[in-house]
Structure 1
Amino acid sequence: MDKTDAEKRVKKLRAEIARLRDLYHVKDDPAVTDAVYDSLNKELKGILKDYPEFVDPNAPENRVGGKPLEKFEKVKHKVRMLSLNDAFSFEELEDWEKRIQKLVPNKSFDYFCEIKFDGLAVSLIYENGVFVRGATRGDGFVGEDITENLKMIHSIPLFLGSLRSDLKDSKRSDLFPPKVLEVRGEVLMRKDIFK
């Protein structure tokens, strides 16, 4: 692929990725599987690696999530919610490890791997141990308030801390959560729930 073809392909891929992101994150109507979407991003990253002059920090592939829907109340995150980077090959995994080793030189690392589930990134806010707000990642800066929806998920505790009456007057700080605690993670539903 020459430079002219690469530039055309980058423009086409960016337009398609932006369209698919809008369908997925804004309209809640995904048009392709995650594998197809990831393959488009992987192709784009490959071209940009060969032609770095086409790298654009404001391009859709550098954005996280989507704009909050108007029907949900907006929530501003105190600290930006970021997304994880994908690695599709051992070469990409090795590149990632080299970046980590540059950030923390002369350290040995242990790794923990798990199967990747694709869920909805959420922020849970607890005040004095009580779940008070849940929000989506949105664009990383502003998400959607989905507190009431998250309260329906039984594995999300509505209260943190000890309910034992004999510990109520304890001075041990390890028994109680901090005054304000934010927990970030993903919620997901198994396919068999839809059957």
Structure 2
Amino acid sequence: MSASVAVLDYGSGNLHSATRALAATGAQVTLTADAEQAWEADGLVVPGVGAFAACMAGLEAVGGPAIIRRRLDAGRPVLGICVGEQVMFEAGDEHGVVTAGVGVLPGRVERLRAERLPHMGWNTVAAPQESLLFAGVAGERFYFVHSYGVHEAHWPTGALLTWAEHGGDRFVAAVEAGPLSVTQFHPEKSGRAGARLLRNWVASLA
């Protein structure tokens, strides 16, 4: 039986593209704001586009932070994408306004230090050899659209970090920390490499 995946519906703009890409892996995908459906699924996906504060407000409106924490506390997989990655950190600083995040990863989301922003387009990433997400896609390019990211943090023991660089600025491209996986790039917009990454994640739910 194929894995069940819930995509958390909290008003973010790329929900449907993420849902389609996940369905293409063969998973049974449901787009939902219902807490119990989000809990019961084998995997929960939290996409996101736009501003950190707006995404957090949307998440809080559907009880998203509590759903995410409940799943992670129980060891149940969660995947965050783009701003859905960023909100997993402790805080986001946009235009001098600091907004609290879900706080399941240490660190602060800050404006990238590159001269040209946004960072938009295809970029390679440096993933650790032990990575499950990036199995079979080492050296491939992924699609980024963002002006903010995480530069450093006191990472959890055993966390696997994948890095990328734009304009000489090194930032976190992905984190794998126990049941939590996050990507700053959009796997659903990253062609065959992104499709393989999503298949890798869905396969880990079995």
TM-score range, shorter chain: under 0.3
Higher helix share: 1
Larger radius of gyration: 1
Give the TM-score normalised by the residue count of structure 1: 0.25
Higher strand share: 2
